[in-house]
Every structure is written in C-alpha cells, then in structure tokens.
C-alpha cells in the first residue's frame, strides 16, 4: 500500500471545499440559497463556528453572499480569490483566550510602573477612534501587545503579535465586516477596562478571568446569528 499524504487542511477548508464542489456541480444553482448555518452544521456533523468560517471563506472567494433577510445566496461558481491554509478566525480567538488570560495574570504581578498608564492610554485611543467612527484596531492592538510585553518574554510577545495580526487577513476582515459595530467595540472597551482594573489591583486571578471573559465575549460576538432572520443564539 503506498504512503498516503497527511491531511493538513483546516476543518473549515474541508467544509468550504465540499460546499464549493456542490455549487460547481449545480447542486446549488446561482441565485439559490444554501441551507441555514445551523442546518449545515447538523448535516455535516460539525460545529457552527466551523461552518461560519467555511461560509466566510466562500464569501471571500466570491461564491456566496450573506444577505440580510435573504439568507446565504450563491452568486458564483468559480473562486475569484484563492486562499491559503490560514487558521480560522474563531479558532484564533480561542488560542488567544488561552494564552492572553495567563499573560494578563502575569501582568498583574509586574512592577512596571508604566504598564497601567500605558493601558489607560490604549482605552482612550480606542474611545477616540470609536467617536470618530473609525474601527479602533490600533488601540486594541496596543492594549493586547502591551500586556504581552509585561511578561518580558519575547517568544510569547511574538505569538500574541502574530495571532492578533491575523486580523489583517481576508477571513478575519470579512468576518469583522459582518459583526463589528460601534456597540460591539464599546463593549470591548468596557471589557478591556475590567482587565486594566484587575491589573492595577494586582489581582492575577481577576486579571486572568477578565481577559478570558473578554475573548469569550469576542468569540460570542463573532458567532452570533447572521442578520438574515436566523436565530441569534450562540453555538
């Protein structure tokens, strides 16, 4: 028996490839609607977050559109953009939750007198951008990287930087276009403030919990139902 290649594709890519083949075979004609996200998850035997990431990949490739009130509509048969084997946005958030919760706890132990003032500055930066109706990505990035810097561990800082900067990729950008709004960013600022308050109190457990809760809420915001009349409960 010949050696078989090891399967390295992400689960969401396997789902997207299966749906793409169904579209290309005519199973789902242009102009038709795909089953609802929940139904696809049941039929495929996978989680809704994995289906969400697959649909985002198909949307980036120009095969489907998510239309408010109309559902998930097929708009093309051939991909207009090729994607690499990137990590899914929702699994990135889960990885960050594990790593950054611990880093927040470490930050609560630090003697760096500039840490809390720097973090307060990131909150003001985010609030300023929100008031200007600009996505406050810069302040958000400064916040998470500044906490990672407090660990004084360059490999951990590099990991947090790489994971955060996945936001610049097409999958995360498209996901954000559906779900990031002024109200969600204001919620994120409030969650950031809870992390800073815990660090200022030098309470490692509270800092870990606040950061973990923030990224859990972030995952929930990106996992809410599409604006298509589908129920908005989280998976």
Task: List, for residues 161-189, the tens digit of each pLDDT value.
Answer: 999 999 988 999 888 888 899 999 999 99
Q: Is 69 found in the same domain as 116?
A: no
Q: How far is CA 130 from CA 9, 111, 123, in A?
A: 37, 31, 11
Tally of domains within the chain: 2
Q: What integer pLDDT is reported at residue 226 of this predicted model?
A: 59
Confidence of residue 223 (pLDDT cuts 50, 70, 90): confident
- Measured in degrees and rounded to the nearest 5, phi and psi for residue 72 equal -100, 110
CATH number of domain containing 126: 1.20.120.530
Q: What integer pLDDT is reported at residue 71 of this predicted model?
A: 85
Residue 224, SS3?
coil
Between CA 86 and CA 13 the distance in angstroms is 9
Please identify, among 74, 98, 122, the residue that sits at the C-terminal boundary of a domain. 74
Q: Is 61 found in the same domain as 116?
A: no
Per-residue pLDDT reduced to its tens digit, 85-127: 678 899 999 999 999 999 999 999 999 999 999 999 999 999 9
Q: What integer pLDDT is reported at residue 9 of this predicted model?
A: 63
Please identify, among 74, 105, 129, the residue that sits at the C-terminal boundary of a domain. 74
Does the pTM surpass 0.95? The reply is: no
Q: What integer pLDDT is reported at residue 225 of this predicted model?
A: 62
Q: What integer pLDDT is reported at residue 153 of this predicted model?
A: 97
Two structure tokens written together for 219: 């995952």
Q: What integer pLDDT is reported at residue 70 of this predicted model?
A: 73
What are the percentages of helix, strand and coil residues in the chain, rounded to 5? 65, 5, 35
Domain membership of residue 167 as a residue range: 89-222
pLDDT beyond 80 at 229: no
């Amino acid at each position: 028996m010949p050696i078989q290649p090891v399967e390295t594709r992400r689960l969401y890519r396997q789902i997207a490839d299966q749906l793409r083949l169904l579209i290309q075979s005519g199973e789902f004609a242009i102009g038709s609607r795909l089953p609802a996200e929940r139904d696809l998850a049941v039929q495929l035997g996978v989680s809704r977050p994995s289906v969400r990431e697959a649909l985002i990949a198909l949307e980036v490739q120009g095969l489907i559109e998510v239309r408010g009130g109309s559902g998930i509509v097929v708009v093309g048969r051939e991909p207009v953009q090729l994607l690499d084997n990137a990590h899914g946005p929702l699994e990135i958030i889960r990885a960050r939750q594990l790593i950054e919760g611990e880093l927040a706890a470490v930050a609560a132990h630090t003697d760096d007198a500039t840490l809390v003032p720097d973090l307060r500055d990131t909150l003001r930066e985010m609030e300023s951008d929100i008031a200007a109706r600009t996505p406050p990505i810069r302040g958000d990035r400064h916040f998470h990287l500044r906490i990672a810097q407090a660990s004084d561990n360059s490999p951990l800082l590099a990991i947090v930087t790489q994971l955060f900067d996945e936001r610049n990729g097409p999958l995360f950008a498209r996901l954000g276009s559906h779900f990031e709004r002024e109200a969600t960013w204001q919620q994120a600022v409030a969650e950031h403030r809870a992390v800073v308050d815990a660090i200022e109190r030098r309470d490692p457990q509270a800092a870990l919990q606040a950061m973990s809760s923030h990224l859990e809420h972030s995952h929930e915001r990106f996992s809410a139902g599409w604006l298509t009349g589908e129920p908005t409960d989280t998976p």
